[in-house]
């Protein structure tokens, strides 16, 4: 499968625990985005990388959230001290900085914080 | 920042009819407008996208129109089929001078139901 992949697909955790999600972009894509989607809403931008550089962070990204893309390939999104309000689908997308820069999405990680 | 409004939130049509979904955006610098289809429990899938230097783009039964002056764009689906039933999202983004294209700002979605 040459599309964007995410792991795990589902995560249930207790409030206060830390969780980490992984995204593997399409191999030649140099841009990687994280979005959050809650039920009945469109995806909301969290942060994005070009290669290993984190270029922009949304105000939604509180200091409990951190993202990395250490070698410019896969990325991780960590949430520390999870809260019930963090329950959502976390989507990753990747693109190539040429042409329309179309973003292709992964299947998402659904997080439930109890 | 950019704000994208989408309507209607739900749309029910008979199979074979046309469906139209409309979006407005607030930032006149936005110049790229994709549409995504999301089936229940699945990832958003790009169905068509358009740049602001093009007024209309068509791909088989799907077309997008853009009115830059009014800052709105629309998705048109003709000859709808039951498999078109899904949630459709519009989005907008613009170029950043220093680092290229910004992330997408999405509308709130339209749930399309095609009745057989």
Pick from A42, A56, A101: which is nearest to B106 by CB? Answer: A42
Q: Return the minimum-mean-pLDDT range out of A1-5, B6-10, B63-67.
A: A1-5
- So what's the pLDDT on residue A76? 98
CA of B34: which chain A residue's CA is closest? A102
Substitution target in B103, B106, B108, B109 with the highest count of A β-carbons within 10 Å is B103
Q: Model confidence over B21-35: pLDDT tens digits?
A: 999 999 999 999 999
User: Within chain A, how many helices (H) and strands (E) appear?
Assistant: 0, 11
Across the interface, whether the CB atoms of B34 and A102 are under 8 A apart is answered yes
Q: Tell me the nearest-neighbour CA distance from A105 into chain B, angstroms.
A: 6
Q: Does A99 touch chain B (CB under 8 A)?
A: no
Question: Which residues of A are less than 8 Å from B91 in CB distance?
Answer: 42
Pick from A4, A42, A107: which is nearest to B109 by CB? Answer: A42
Burial B7-36 (b: 16+ CB within 10 A, else e): eeeebebeeeeebebbbbbebeebbbbbbb
Q: Are the beta carbons of A21 and A42 closer than 8 angstroms?
A: no
Q: How many CB atoms lie within 10 A of CB A65?
A: 18
Q: Model confidence over B66-89: pLDDT tens digits?
A: 999 999 999 999 999 999 999 999
pLDDT category, B99, cuts 50, 70, 90?
low
Instruction: Spell out, as residue ranges, where chain A has pLDDT lower than 70.
Output: 1
Q: Tell me the nearest-neighbour CA distance from A43 into chain B, angstroms.
A: 6
pLDDT at B98 over 70: no
CA of B91: which chain A residue's CA is closest? A42
- So what's the pLDDT on residue A14? 97
Q: Mean per-residue pLDDT for B39-67?
A: 93
- So what's the pLDDT on residue B54? 82
Substitution target in A45, A91, A102 with the highest count of B β-carbons within 10 Å is A45
């Amino acid at each position: 499968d040459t599309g964007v992949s995410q792991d795990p697909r589902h995560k249930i955790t207790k409030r206060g625990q830390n969780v980490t999600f992984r995204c593997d972009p399409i191999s030649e894509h140099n841009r990687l985005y994280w979005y959050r989607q809650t039920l009945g809403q469109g995806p909301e931008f969290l942060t994005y990388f070009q290669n290993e550089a984190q270029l922009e962070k949304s105000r939604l990204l509180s200091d409990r959230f951190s993202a990395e893309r250490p070698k410019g390939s896969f990325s991780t999104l960590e949430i520390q001290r999870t809260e019930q309000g963090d329950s959502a689908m976390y989507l990753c997308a990747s693109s190539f900085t040429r042409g329309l820069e179309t973003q292709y999405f992964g299947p998402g990680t659904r997080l439930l914080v109890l | 920042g950019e704000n994208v409004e989408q309507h209607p939130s739900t749309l029910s049509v008979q199979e074979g009819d046309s469906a139209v979904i409309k979006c407005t955006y607030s930032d006149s610098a936005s110049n790229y407008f994709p549409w995504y289809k999301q089936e229940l429990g699945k990832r958003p899938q790009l169905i068509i996208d358009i740049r602001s230097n093009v007024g209309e783009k068509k791909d088989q039964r799907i077309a997008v129109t853009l009115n830059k002056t009014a800052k709105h764009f629309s998705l048109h689906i003709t000859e709808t089929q039951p498999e078109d039933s899904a949630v459709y999202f519009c989005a907008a983004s613009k170029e950043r001078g220093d680092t290229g294209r910004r992330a997408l700002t999405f509308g709130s979605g339209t749930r399309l139901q095609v009745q057989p």
